[in-house]
Amino acid sequence: MLFNLSRFLFVFLAITGLHLNAGELEANKVGMSQERLDKIAPALSKYVASGQLPGLITAVARKGEMVHFEVQGFADLKNSVPLKRDSLFRIYSMSKPITGVALMILIEEGKIRLSDPVALYIPQFASMKVLVVNEDETTSQEKQRKPLTIRDLATHTSGIAYNFTANKQLAKIYNDNKMSPYFSIDDPESLGEVLLQGKGMDTDNLKEFKNICDFSVSLATKTPLMHQPGYKYTYGMGMDVLGCIIERVSGQTFDNFLKERIFDPLDMRDTFFSIPEKKSDRFTDLYAFAPALGYLIPSIAGRINSKDPIILIDKKETSPYLAKATVFDGGSGLIASTQDYLRFSQMLLNGGKLGDVRILSRKSVELMSRNHLSKEVLARNSFPGLQGVGLTLGVDLDKGLQGSHGSDGSFYWGGAASTVFWVDPKEDLIAVLMTQVLASPLPLREEFSTLVYQAIDD
């Protein structure tokens, strides 16, 4: 099922506030070829036809004009429920840039600084130790050589990891302490049991902690850092700790801060940590790429026999996202519609403003979206000279060396269920792709990016 753009434009105009007009003339006005834009959906439809994706939405805007919005496939494969233009998606790590904007709001107000020690807001982080793994794989712990800072959290250089990015010693500590602010669907062993039972997650599958600050204090007191703060990039739960800091600085719960300072002003009506009952019919099933599950969860290797390339993990009717949230995890916890994330992306492209509403100054967006990692830190990771890291964002430093379409200085992020967005200031362009498949090996961002940029015609 491909969604026709011209039928959608009137409704989308009312929702987004972007200046929209249908047809080839409007695409040409902003330097895009309608004929080439029409190649995007058919080129990606092979993944829906082959069963590797349940469905997807792709959207592109340039110079404030929506030039492409296509919907294909299903929200629920088993029952053939079509995906809709306003379907709701687990955006997972695409929550992080929203947390970054919240942080920048408080920085602009002079309530927090990037150089501030985390311990200024969560005192337990002052005594958090650093794990040392010896040559014989025994471990010890040492003191922080420099205080862990807000910037370290926002750039993934804190030494806080995920259980899947931690070394085996730290991963064991995380697992022993159930150190995650997420639903247990993110815990390999819990997910393995769910898959073996074939019943999906449910609303009783709630989080381990009372709130995000309870998690943050437990993290600081029960686990060490994987490496010294600022030493290298390690993808991890630092963004979730930022949520606690934002709560303590603002005096509001993190969800209320996001709603009052970002979602309501931008008219993002479909972004939240818990799905309202009246909107639950727009939710989507969550799948995982079946061949990768044995690698990701060794305990179930060879025990799941699926004829299909993807397997259902979280049913939309019984998902824990339907229950009232109390742990507001800014690293992974938000649900959103494509239209809402387009509005958020357009605000960033516009230098912090959408219509008459200003969320951030242009200079704050520039600070967020520039590389914050030194050459030394970049060299310790696998992307020296190619990709940088901004504040809760990735930054493309050299598209030529990457061998991919786009512009140097574009910034982006993706989510675990194969969602992705990027903002290209040089081309005055935003793009969003939404689907719901964990552990997918498909090169969706690369292919979508190529299809978008081949349609530029100015």
What pLDDT sits at residue 304? 65
pLDDT digits (tens, 9 = 90+) for 163-186: 889 999 999 999 999 999 988 654
Output the pLDDT for position 266.
98
State residue 332's pLDDT score: 95
DSSP string covering 66-121: EEEEEEEEEEETTTTEEP-TT-EEE-GGGGHHHHHHHHHHHHHTTS--TTSBGGGT
User: Taking residues 241-255, what's their average pLDDT?
Assistant: 98
- Residue 298: the pLDDT is 59
pTM (predicted TM-score): 0.91
pLDDT at res. 305: 67
Give 46-70 pLDDT, tens digit per residue.
999 999 999 999 999 999 999 999 9
Residues 121-127, mean pLDDT to the nearest whole number: 98
Q: What is the mean pLDDT of residues 383-404?
A: 88
Per-residue pLDDT for 297 more than 90?
A: no
User: Residue 13 — very low, low, confident or very high, per pLDDT cuts 50/70/90?
Assistant: very low
The fold for domain 99-250 equals Beta-lactamase (3.40.710)
How many C-alpha atoms does 90 have within 13 Å on its Cβ side? 28
**Rounded Cα–Cα distance for residues 22 and 112 (Å):** 44
The whole-number pLDDT of residue 180 equals 92
Give the pair of three-digit tokens for residue 423: 């903002």
Per-residue confidence (pLDDT) for residue 5, from 0 to 100: 43
Q: What is the pLDDT of residue 21?
A: 44
Q: How confident is the model at residue 291 (pLDDT cuts 50, 70, 90)?
A: confident
Provide the pLDDT confidence category of residue 292 given band limits of 50, 70 and 90: confident
What number is the average pLDDT over the span 19-30? 72
Q: How many residues does the chain have?
A: 458
Q: What is the pLDDT of residue 140?
A: 97
Q: For the residues 32-38, what does the mean pLDDT come to?
A: 97
Question: Where are the domains positioned within the chain?
Answer: 99-250
Whether residue 7 is predicted with pLDDT greater than 60 in this model: the reply is no
Local confidence band at 296 (pLDDT 50, 70, 90 cut-offs): low
The residue that leads in pLDDT, 207 or 441, is 441
Strands 286-289 and 437-438, by their bridges, are: parallel
pLDDT surpassing 50 at residue 289: yes
Share of the chain above pLDDT 70, in %: 86
More confident residue, 306 or 368: 368
* In the predicted structure, residue 333 carries a pLDDT above the cut 80: yes
HEC letters along 308-369: CCEEEEECCCCCHHHCCCCCCCCCCCCEEEHHHHHHHHHHHHCCCEECCEECCCHHHHHHHC
Mean model confidence pLDDT for the chain: 90
pLDDT at 299: 59
Got the DSSP string for 163-179? TTTS-HHHHHHHHHTT-
What is the rounded average pLDDT of the residues 362-384? 90
pLDDT, mean of residues 409-436:
98
Give the pLDDT confidence of 185-233 residue by residue, as tens digits: 545 555 555 555 555 555 555 678 999 999 999 999 999 999 999 999 9
**Separation of alpha carbons 456 and 426, rounded Å:** 13
pLDDT for position 191: 58
pLDDT value of position 1: 42
Instruction: Retrieve residue 132's tokens.
Output: 């040392």
Say how far apart CA 33 and CA 403 lie, in whole Å.
23
What mean pLDDT comes out for the span 333-343?
A: 98
- Give the residue-averaged pLDDT of 152-156: 98
**Sorting pLDDT into bands at 50, 70 and 90, what band is 139?**
very high
For position 11, what pLDDT does the model report? 38
Q: How far apart are alpha carbons 123 and 191 in whole angstroms?
A: 34
